[in-house]
Structure 1
Amino acid sequence: MQDIIKKMQSLGFNQYEAKAYLALVRIGSASAYQVSKDSGIPRARIYEILNGLEQQGIVLKEEINDAAQYSPLPVDVFLESMQVNWRTNFESISESLKDLEKTELTPDNRVATLKGAEHILSYCRTLLKKAEKKIVISIWGDMYEELLSDLQKATKLCALKGIVFEVEQPLAGLDYHRTTSYTKNIGHQKWFILSIDGKEMIYGPSITERETAFYTDDPVHIYLLENYIWHDILVNRLVKNQDAIVEKWIATEREQFFSL
């Protein structure tokens, strides 16, 4: 029950309004006293709450033998009404926000922090929809799976380039990074990079490890990280068909470079 109340609150109802409507759904037509008793809403507040819901059209009121009886808007009608209201509000706020965005001055190139797995994924999907010419990525299996359907749609309109880790049969245009001692022991450092048209980029650790990423439209950041991806691809291609001696040499050189 608490879960339903919280979800109704996310639709704009307060806790008492949600409890009153749910009580009426459960018991049908009832007096204010019965609603108060069933829902736990204080009697001093129940008439205020029910009258407010009546004003919204969520509760129906009728006088029977000089006593007020309340009944809920049928659930199917309630849900349809909520859906229509949500769609109307969404379309209205979308237009208003887009108009506002057009009138605002374009900010200087920046690096912004993104928080929350869903926000990060939504931002990535938004960038993929905006891509017009080229998408460049470096990505591990978990993030790749999250964005696969969006990548597939985007590649119908523009080129896809980059490198993937722990992904079998990646999309055309993507190199598969060979398995090495470094990739096997990388632990929590499975970063991703997503760049579109050389103009905007999101990068950060896997969202399963840390729900933080970074957005930038700074050309220097984008240039450096796209070149990082190309360097990774180039080394991977050069080494892929070489023997274990070369792989061991690279591992040794890397360890020496990053040692204290």
Structure 2
Amino acid sequence: MQDKNIIEKLKTLGFREYDAKVFTALLNGIPMTVSEIAKDAKVIRNSVYEIVKSFVEKGYCNEIETNRFLSYQIINPQIILDKIIREHNAKHFEATAIIQDAFGDVLQLYKERSSNISKSENEIELIRGFNKHRIAKYLDLFKNAKKEVLGMFRLKGVVSDELDKHAEKLIKQGGVIKSIYQISLNFRIIRNGKSGNAEPEDLIRICESFENYGEQVRLSYNEIPNISIFDQEKIFINISEKTVPRDKQADIIISNPNFSKHIIDLFSFYWEKAITIEEYKTSLYKNIS
């Protein structure tokens, strides 16, 4: 019963039926003649001879020659395991290299062809899928911004070291970043090595860290939309709906300077009604006193 189980597992590794039976017979660990292996494995002698010769070539067993006959002895199975893993990894690496090479050409062709599409044909882009893919697209837009980024955010999911790095770089190059953050504690922070609910002081601390590298920040009690405008031309709209599964959520990118003007007006409306961090601090202290 145990031999049958081993044979089935070896077949999942690519061993043929007879190969697996001969390999299992050799697990006795002692030198065996072809006749002995054939009897133990219940495989015809001619097939056993071909199989053990292939095992010798692969380094699975040793061929021992004496004055009377040839015998075969399996080497340490751990060595065989390491060899199979190395071969598998080599094949995987080769397959990956082929895929990367093929898609290198695919991506280049896509880049060349998509660059020829007129703006009117490519005004609206819908991005569906897991959060990390949509964040990558947002970061790509941010990295390509040259002059200005305006944003309205709910703080949850905003904090990103990579985003901070690109924001600081844009400001150093003379760009402008203006952000409105909704006053909400619907995010978690790490405090003393443990994840916990955010407090007003945490919201203040995070927003002040944004101000430290030159971002202009205001806070809003209104439930604001999650929208960013890049260089007054491209708009990124995050559509967040709790009832929709995370892998089904979507974002919209609109490349239209005329439409961007309307969204900038909306941003300006919320900006004028929003308060500074200092004003938020003052309101907190008044409530405490």
Q: 1:64, CA displacement in angstroms?
A: 7.2
Structure 2 letter corresponding to 1:163: I
**Alignment of 1:212 onto 2:250:** yes
Q: Distance in 2 between matches of 1:22 and 1:200?
A: 56
2:217 to 167, 175, 186: 175
User: What RMSD in Å do the two structures reach over aligned CA positions?
Assistant: 3.8
- TM-score, scaled relative to structure 2: 0.52
**Alignment of 1:162 onto 2:179:** yes
Q: 1:127, CA displacement in angstroms?
A: 0.8
Residue-pair matches, total? 186
Q: Match of 2:123?
A: 110
Q: 1:230, CA displacement in angstroms?
A: 2.0
Q: Percent identical across equivalent pairs?
A: 11
Relative to structure 1, is the Cα distance of residues 108 and 132 closer, same or farther in structure 2, using a 3 angstrom cutoff? same
Counting only pairs closer than 5 Å after superposition, residues 180-259 of structure 1 correspond to structure 2 as 180=221, 182=222, 191-206=225-240, 210=244, 211-237=249-275, 241=279
Q: What SS does structure 2 have at the residue aligned with 1:201?
A: strand
Q: Distance in 2 between matches of 1:215 and 1:22?
A: 50
Q: 1:205, CA displacement in angstroms?
A: 3.1
Q: Match of 2:87?
A: 74
Q: Distance in 1 between matches of 2:15 and 2:266?
A: 70
CA deviation profile, 1:190-213 (whole Å, cap 9, x unmatched):
631122111111113347665122
CA deviation profile, 1:142-190 (whole Å, cap 9, x unmatched):
2312x55224224303322121234423523231415x4x5xxx5xxx6
Q: What SS does structure 1 have at the residue aligned with 2:270?
A: helix
Q: 1:97, CA displacement in angstroms?
A: 1.0
Counting only pairs closer than 5 Å after superposition, residues 97-176 of structure 1 correspond to structure 2 as 97-108=110-121, 110-116=123-129, 117-145=131-159, 147-157=160-170, 158-165=175-182, 166=184, 167=203, 168=206, 169-171=208-210, 172-176=214-218
Q: Distance in 2 between matches of 1:130 and 1:196?
A: 9
Q: Distance in 2 between matches of 1:22 and 1:128?
A: 51
Q: Distance in 1 between matches of 2:132 and 2:268?
A: 28
Q: Distance in 1 between matches of 2:48 and 2:156?
A: 61
Q: Distance in 2 between matches of 1:118 and 1:36?
A: 44
Q: Which has the larger radius of gyration?
A: 2
Structure 2 contact 11–20 (Cα < 8 Å) conserved? no
Q: Distance in 2 between matches of 1:208 and 1:148?
A: 26
Q: Match of 1:32?
A: 16
Q: Distance in 1 between matches of 2:133 and 2:102?
A: 21
Q: Match of 1:23?
A: 12
Structure 1 contact 110–216 (Cα < 8 Å) conserved? yes
Q: Distance in 2 between matches of 1:66 and 1:240?
A: 84
**Alignment of 1:90 onto 2:103:** yes
Structure 2 contact 11–17 (Cα < 8 Å) conserved? no
Relative to structure 1, is the Cα distance of residues 100 and 108 closer, same or farther in structure 2, using a 3 angstrom cutoff? closer
Q: 1:226, CA displacement in angstroms?
A: 1.8
Structure 2 letter corresponding to 1:198: Q
Q: 1:101, CA displacement in angstroms?
A: 1.6
Q: 1:98, CA displacement in angstroms?
A: 1.0
- TM-score, scaled relative to structure 1: 0.57
Relative to structure 1, is the Cα distance of residues 170 and 222 closer, same or farther in structure 2, using a 3 angstrom cutoff? farther
Relative to structure 1, is the Cα distance of residues 83 and 239 closer, same or farther in structure 2, using a 3 angstrom cutoff? closer
Gaps of 5+ in 2: 1-8, 22-46, 59-82, 185-202, 284-289
Structure 1 contact 23–35 (Cα < 8 Å) conserved? no
